[in-house]
Amino acid sequence: MFDPSFIDLLEQSVGRGRSAVILDALEKDASVSIRLNPARLRECPFPDAVRIPWSPYGYILKERPSFTMDPLFHAGCYYVQDSSAMFVGEVFRRMLDGFSDGVQVLDLCAAPGGKTTDLSASLHERFGDKFRLIANEVIRKRFQVLRSNVETWGDRRTAVVNLDPSRFGVRDLFDIILADVPCSGEGMFRKDDTAREEWSRENVEFCAARQRKILADIWPSLRPGGVLIYSTCTFNHLENDDNLQWAAGELGASIADIGPVPEGIVRSRFGYCLLPGYVPGEGQWVGVLRKGGETGAVPAPDAARILRAEFPAIGTPDYPMVDVDRPTALAYLHGEAIRLTDAPIGLINVCYQGHPLGPAKNIGSRCNNLYPKERRIRKDV
């Protein structure tokens, strides 16, 4: 059952007719979707997958496989991400049209890294290596997850930091900021029972106030002419349209239009809603603010130096590549010593279907496993 106050606020925000569709959809199973890493994989490895209209890399799967038991997942060939969340990446791609080489981007509330890796892929496709992406997460435990996912994705142009938004004291630093802010999580009710149980009108109002503070804290770091993409995974107007309207008035921004949107995506007063029952995925809301002034065409200063950003250990060491079959790959990912009779002696890269998984040291009788302990498969393989 849903809290009557939630239903009332939902009807205020999206209308009674749409509310009925959403409430019915929230009682059904969630869809499963992935987004390919275009630097590593160009074709979906799952049969009967359906393309997502707003993502060049996204697919909805027919059923949920065991991602843990897929070496391609551990090799960073794809990321498991809700299809609605991928629309934020599409908005980002549309906003890139106003910027030249040297673009500096901040993903402010980045963990676990789904949107960060989407932004990374889009930036590489558009600018090659002529960009800098800073992914930030304020909560230390979530920051560790973010760093691990960025490392697995394998982008040398993405740095990760662990800062409160109020500590971004550098003015006019970023061309684009993505603020996927903490919210009441209404759009995740289908996947997260805790979000449904903990919902209250008071929490919604608390989240809305916190979101306004985040926007006010980070706004000076956006350059004149820059773009701030604001998103939540909730439905209500207090955290979405009302906050964008507040930001436009209080921060001196204009609300940007992104142009035509795919079928099923609903326009709200100032942004765009993805609603269960109208799209296959969960709830997502996106709006765009533009800061007054001309777009910066000169490459930005070294954001990593200014923010003391931490660059993950990205890239494959220059060791011989040794391809293994699936059972051997899973044994390696589980942390076991493996035996490779035809591999060179010494340090090697264990690969699956040509994609590096990690290092090992072949001593002849066996290979000592050097795969990081924190990433190893815990379950029996």
In the chain, ranges of CATH 2.30.130.60 domains: 321-375
| CA-closest candidate to residue 375, choices 316, 323, 335, 321 | 335
Q: What is the pLDDT of residue 160?
A: 93
For residue 292 the two structure tokens come to 């007054």
Under a CB-based contact definition with an 8 Å cutoff, are residues 76 and 39 in contact?
no
The pTM of the full predicted model, rounded to 2 decimals, is 0.94
In the predicted model, residues of the chain with pLDDT beneath 70 are 294-315
Supply 197's token pair.
């149980």
Q: Give the catalytic positions in this structure.
A: 233
pLDDT at 297: 45
What confidence score (pLDDT) does residue 101 get?
77
Q: What does residue 308 show for φ and ψ, rounded to 5 degrees?
A: 50, 50
Segment 82-100, tens digit of pLDDT = 999 999 999 999 999 888 8
Kindly report, residue by residue over 219-251, the tens digit of the pLDDT.
999 999 999 999 999 999 999 999 999 999 999
Q: Which CATH architecture has domain 321-375?
A: Roll (2.30)
Helix (H) or strand (E) holding 346: strand 346-352
Give pLDDT, residue 166: 85
Q: Where in the chain is the domain with CATH 3.40.50.150?
A: 81-307
Which of 362, 372, 307, 309 has its CA nearest to residue 339? 362
Q: What is the pLDDT of residue 66?
A: 97
Query: Domain 81-307 has what CATH class?
Result: alpha beta
Q: Which pLDDT value is given to residue 298?
A: 47
DSSP class per residue in 268-299:
-SSSEEE-BTTBSS--EEEEEEEESSPPP-SP
